[in-house]
Structures are given as structure tokens and as C-alpha cells.
Amino acid sequence: MTHSRDELLKQLRVRGARLTIQRRLVLDILLDGNDHLSVQDIQAQVTQRGADLTETTVYRILQWLKNLGFVSQTDLGQRGVVYELIGSPRHHHLICLNCGGVIEVGDGLFEELRDHVRRDYDFEPRIDHMAIFGLCQDCGNQNISGE
Ligand SMILES: [Zn+2]
Ligand SMILES: [Zn+2]
């Protein structure tokens, strides 16, 4: 997943975003970081970089970026809520409720769904980083209800 720092900052400026030092710091961490950073992960990296932001501040900045459409927020179940810059190509996850196994899937799966939602509901869906919960093959074959 590649993001150009300059391109991202340019897009933010175009939208009239005020880039405070705090916002820049969180953006830098997202740009440098791997996928799937929790608020706590980001806060730890802020501290590593010698700055001091509260969890609430980090969270607010992430919400701001999310509302602008730059960051996805996904609840991965056991792994908690994670954030990442929306890149291309997008990816999504199938997560097993029983064993916690995760299968990564491409974005093609959602193209038709997006078209459908746009066409039938006149609604622009943001399907940026989905987690779909269910049962993997192994667990689906087991009788996990214990009956
Ligand atoms: Zn992911
Ligand atoms: Zn499973």
C-alpha cells in the first residue's frame, strides 16, 4: 500500500484542513506505519517520537481523518478497532468468530455491492476496509454449538 506524503498533504490543504503539529505527527505515523494500528499503537509511537498526545487527542485526529475519507476505522473483533490510511488497492477481511482466523480478500468482491448501493439507494458507500465475521471452513464443519 503506497501513499505519497506530499500528495496526501496536498489533498488535505485543498480541503482547507488545518495541519497542526499534532495532526502532522499522527499522519506521519500512519504514513510510516503498517496496516492496522490501534489508538494505543499510535499513541505509543507518538511517545517514541518524543511527543505527548493523550489517547483522546489521537482518537479525535483519527476521527477527523476518517470523516475526510482518508482513514478507515475497522473493528476486527478480538484484535480490536484498527485504523489505517485508505490506499489502493483496498483490502478487506473475513474473520472467523470461532478460531479468530483472518482471511484477507481483495476489493473486487465489493464492486458490485457499491454499484448496487449507488444505483438503488442513491448513496455513496464507503467500503474501505471491511471486516466480515463468520465461520471459516474448519470451524463451519465442526459442530461448534455442541449439540
Ligand atoms: Zn486490513
Ligand atoms: Zn475458524
Cα 65 to ligand 2 centroid, rounded to whole Å: 33
45, 33 contact by CB (below 8 A): yes
Question: Who wins on pLDDT, 9 or 103?
Answer: 103
Mean pLDDT of 21-26: 94
- Closest ligand to C-alpha of residue 102 is 2
Q: Give the residue carrying C-alpha cell 503539529.
A: 21
Cα 31 to ligand 1 centroid, rounded to whole Å: 15
* Three-state secondary structure call for residue 70: coil
- According to the CATH classification, is domain 1-87 in 3.10.450.710? no
- Closest ligand to C-alpha of residue 87 is 1
CATH of 89-147, one of 3.30.470.10, 3.40.50.2300, 3.30.1490.190, 3.40.50.620: 3.30.1490.190
- Closest ligand to C-alpha of residue 129 is 1
Q: Note the residue count of the chain.
A: 147
Render pLDDT for 57-113 as a digit per residue (tens, 0 to 9). 999 999 999 999 899 999 998 889 999 998 767 899 999 999 999 999 999 999 999
The C-alpha atoms of residue 83 and residue 37 are separated, in whole angstroms, by 5
- Closest ligand to C-alpha of residue 97 is 2
Task: Evaluate if residue 147 carries a pLDDT over 70.
Answer: no
Residue 73: phi, psi to the nearest 5? -125, 120
